[in-house]
Structure 1
Amino acid sequence: MSLVFPHTFVPWFRAVAPYIHAYRGETFVVGMAGEMIAAGKLHSFAQDLALMHAMGIRIVLVHGFRPQVDEQLRLKNHPGRYHRGMRVTDAVALDCAQEAAGQLRFEIEAAFSQGLPNTPMANATLRVVSGNFLTAKPVGIIDGIDHEHSGYVRRVEGMAIQRALDSGAIVLLSPFGFSPTGEAFNLQMEEVATATAIALQADKLIFMTETAGVPERPDEPVSADNPIDTELALADAERLLARWPEPVQPTDPGFYLRHCVKACRAGVDRSHILPFAEDGALLQEVYTHDGIGTMLVDEKLESLREATSDDVSSIIALIEPFEREGVLVKRDRTEIERDVELYSVIEHDGVIFGCAALYPYVEAGTAEMAALTVSPQTQSQGDGERLLKRIEQRAKAQGLKSIFVLTTRTMHWFIKRGFQPVPPEWLPEERKRKYNWDRRSQVLVKTL
């Protein structure tokens, strides 16, 4: 018996389909912390990546191996050394890193070879390509400490990676690079992923990490009162990094953020910090409106603005379901086109998720707020309050003393926000003549 029901599946699929369309053919660089593999999350994560690949996303996967190398060093009774968050890679640590990288590459390729069990994709062929796509240079001596075989990325062979992606393969990169003379260097996963995203001018750089993202109040731990900031502008992120001490541990709030900032400055459209502990976090972040972790963008993707003629179709699509249910009064396209400059809209990533209109009655010193609508996908997230504040600001700017609404079902929402019920006779004469006495809408007024 199927567990998918039309009344839940159809709205879900309609919400997801635009993202599937938008990301088809785009390139994502995904950095996977070694801690994720150690936590046993590899197989489910590989299935999520296989789904995304099947939906047309070009994927470069960069794996880390910090805990695996530490475990190899413990088995050899050799101390691991770090300086300012970077491993000091001596000859023994280099051997351990090579062993760990080989083992992890084997496990990752095996995970992708399984397809999606018990689905039509069970026998799907998914090729994984890896190779010497990175040229490295030594870190050298920092603060008097020789980092020996630790290195930085010198160059990423972007064209070679692009050819592998063009062939339909997933590209797998280990945090290893080689100098032009063949010397091996241990690299940081975060730097490899960032350099690769920049070289490819990837559409997204995504880090799967031990942290949930950047909290709204970064100096305090994540909690119900201090949730993850789902969208962070580049300028805000730079201010945060400027006030924090240098992050050296992967659990430090700015550890991954500094790499996201670097990628964004260099032209990568969006960077993400996601918690690998949350099953399906990658799918939630990519294919839902608000995601689950922190997304860094050059400028905020969500904007509250006045509508233009280009928004008419989107406004109609937004309010039509509520008109059919009788929540809103029916408005034809001609009316909306005529009055479009009276509307304010909330737009996120090119999609309108909320709208409201302000119809002024200047002689009466008041205005009607009409067609207040928020998409079901984003309700209970404050968009209604933001639209109300915008309408109040527009009314004040016109010198009006109050705003009023007519509603049949949402009276309590408005009362909680300072509106008071009044009889229909209170309405301005012009609006009173258009009042539908059969509909018996409640009239509520808020003094500004």
Structure 2
Amino acid sequence: MNAAPTPTAAPVDPDLNARFVRWFREVAPYVHAFRGKTFVVAFGGELVQAGALNVLIQDLSLMSSLGVRLVLVHGSRPQVNEQLRLKGISFQFDRGLQITDAAALECAKEAAGELRLDIEAAFSQGLPNTPMSHAHVRVVSGNYITARPVGVIEGVDFRHTGMVRKVDTEALKHAIDHGSIVLLSPLGFSPTGEAFNLSMEDLATSVAVALRAEKLIFLTDAPSIVDKDGNVDTELAREDADALVAQGELDAGTAVVLRHASRAVKLGVARAHLIPFDLDGGVLLEVFTHDGVGTMVVEDTLDDLRAATIDDIGAIVQLIEPLENDGTLVRRGRGSIERDIEKFSVAEHDGVIYGCAALYPYAGEKMAEMACLTVNPQWQGEGEGDKLLRHIESRARAAGINRLFVLTTRTAHWFIKRGFVQGSVADLPKDKQSHYDRSRNSQVFIKRL
């Protein structure tokens, strides 16, 4: 009888392994930055209707396992409309403020109850060989929201349509501090025991503001916001978002969500995001990649060029160390960077430092050296080096410098394309000439400011 064939290991793909390791390293700074932070994630009933709930729950479970504190807010408009249709009521809810009568309120309660159970069931999955395997996610709901009636507006009584009056912040924090994901339905209750139908967008915004959340994330069924070139507008300053809404050219759904995102940022939420829910892994891509896939609203542009502080030394060392090792940059050492930290500027995106540069002035000769111009390889090719250069030039001009010089062994063409011209050691400030390392044979490039 022939012996059974010896099983062989699957062939190893070195490129695949390298890509995985590189990706994991790229993600690490975001994991560190967001651990312990609170995200409010809001999605409409359209997402559930489209069959996208399970995939979203898997991604949110992963984020929770990485230490992100989550509050989920769901909408229920299509489910409420279906309940109304089944009961023979012709009225249908659309986007925007609408009257909720007694019959519609009962439908809203039924829809919210069914959706809450569906969402809790999705978090309870634990099938082997799925992203939920070994996951133990605790989901809690409760009467965290006190509501008030919208009331009568221009003679119209909106009946059981409500607005958020108060968020029980202490109870919410207690729940998420103990590792639970909080799930909120678009219903609120008054001190007299009345129930009110709430807007998902208003509820999510109010909760994010009350918790001072790091992020408010809207998963929408609306198309992406695009710029004049047809590309996704990945970042909007709040004033620009307001102007876009005021133009009246956005579809109704996007306008409503963008208006609430802007309001959240204005009231203290660090970032608000709009992500199409039909994009597989959209939440993960938006949170854990540099440019994201949706539109982020911030108080001002997120790429922050600022003076370095003592807390940035570790990040600067990580940036320049590989270039010191291959000889591109002069080796400085941590002590030297710490001593000269006030000369450094850093480029930061969403709490992650991805670039740096230093300015060493020689005031007597109105010259300055730009050194350590470095951008993380994953951020290169997007104009980040040019931003740092412009920032350093601005600093130099403010200090009365009229000539900026660099010493380089490998990047001469980059500086030539940006207005630098080749010089010689004799063109350098006297003090720099005396410290010039002739063993490196660096080329000198100078730019008039």
Q: Same fold (TM over 0.5)?
A: yes
Q: Output the CA distance in 2 between the equivalents of 1:222 and 1:34.
A: 28
Residues 1:46 and 1:426: Cα distance change in structure 2 (over 3 Å): same
Q: Deviations over 1:184-243 (max 9, x none)?
A: 322111122223334444443222123466x5xxxxx4454664242635xx36863895
Residues 1:228 and 1:426: Cα distance change in structure 2 (over 3 Å): same
Partner in structure 2 of residue 87 of structure 1: 98
Structure 2 portions without partners, runs of 5+: 1-9
Q: Deviations over 1:236-294 (max 9, x none)?
A: 36863895569993222xx2233234444554444333332322222233333444434
Q: What does 1:173-252 correspond to in 2, within 5 Å?
A: 173-211=184-222, 221-222=226-227, 224=229, 227-230=232-235, 232=237, 236=239, 240=243, 243=246, 249-252=252-255
Residues 1:72 and 1:310: Cα distance change in structure 2 (over 3 Å): closer
Partner in structure 2 of residue 330 of structure 1: 331
Q: Deviations over 1:40-64 (max 9, x none)?
A: 2211100011112222333221111
Partner in structure 1 of residue 257 of structure 2: 256
Q: Output the CA distance in 1 between the equivalents of 2:383 and 2:403.
A: 22
Secondary structure, aligned partner of 1:412: helix
Q: Compute the TM-score of the two structures, normalised by the length of structure 2.
A: 0.83
Q: Output the CA distance in 1 between the equivalents of 2:342 and 2:270.
A: 31
Q: Output the CA distance in 1 between the equivalents of 2:176 and 2:398.
A: 54
Aligned residues of 1:32 and 1:63 also touching (Cα < 8 A): yes
Partner in structure 2 of residue 404 of structure 1: 405
Aligned residues of 1:284 and 1:291 also touching (Cα < 8 A): yes
Partner in structure 2 of residue 147 of structure 1: 158
Aligned residues of 1:115 and 1:126 also touching (Cα < 8 A): no
2:337 maps to amino acid:
I
Secondary structure, aligned partner of 1:87: coil
Q: CA deviation at 1:115?
A: 3.6
Q: CA deviation at 1:417?
A: 1.5
Q: Output the CA distance in 1 between the equivalents of 2:333 and 2:103.
A: 74
Q: CA deviation at 1:135?
A: 3.5
1:65 maps to amino acid:
S
Check if 1:58 corresponds to 2:69.
Answer: yes
Aligned residues of 1:212 and 1:228 also touching (Cα < 8 A): no
Q: Output the CA distance in 2 between the equivalents of 1:313 and 1:12.
A: 21
Q: CA deviation at 1:76?
A: 5.2
Aligned residues of 1:26 and 1:57 also touching (Cα < 8 A): yes
Q: Output the CA distance in 2 between the equivalents of 1:351 and 1:36.
A: 31
Aligned residues of 1:237 and 1:261 also touching (Cα < 8 A): no
Q: Output the CA distance in 2 between the equivalents of 1:266 and 1:363.
A: 47
Residues 1:396 and 1:384: Cα distance change in structure 2 (over 3 Å): same
Q: CA deviation at 1:26?
A: 3.2
Q: Deviations over 1:28-82 (max 9, x none)?
A: 2211122222332211100011112222333221111223333444555543356
CA RMSD, 1 decimal: 3.5
1:342 maps to amino acid:
K
1:249 maps to amino acid:
A
Q: Output the CA distance in 1 between the equivalents of 2:305 and 2:56.
A: 35
Aligned residues of 1:205 and 1:260 also touching (Cα < 8 A): yes
1:282 maps to amino acid:
V
Name the count of aligned residue pairs. 438
1:125 maps to amino acid:
H
Partner in structure 1 of residue 19 of structure 2: 8
2:243 maps to amino acid:
L
1:240 maps to amino acid:
A
Residues 1:239 and 1:249: Cα distance change in structure 2 (over 3 Å): closer
Partner in structure 2 of residue 38 of structure 1: 49
1:194 maps to amino acid:
T
Partner in structure 1 of residue 4 of structure 2: none
Aligned residues of 1:232 and 1:294 also touching (Cα < 8 A): no
Q: What does 1:273-284 correspond to in 2, within 5 Å?
A: 273-284=274-285
Aligned residues of 2:84 and 2:92 also touching (Cα < 8 A): no
Secondary structure, aligned partner of 1:251: helix
Partner in structure 1 of residue 383 of structure 2: 382
Residues 1:72 and 1:248: Cα distance change in structure 2 (over 3 Å): farther
Residues 1:368 and 1:182: Cα distance change in structure 2 (over 3 Å): closer
Q: Which moved more, 1:243-252 or 1:373-382?
A: 243-252
Q: Output the CA distance in 2 between the equivalents of 1:120 and 1:227.
A: 29
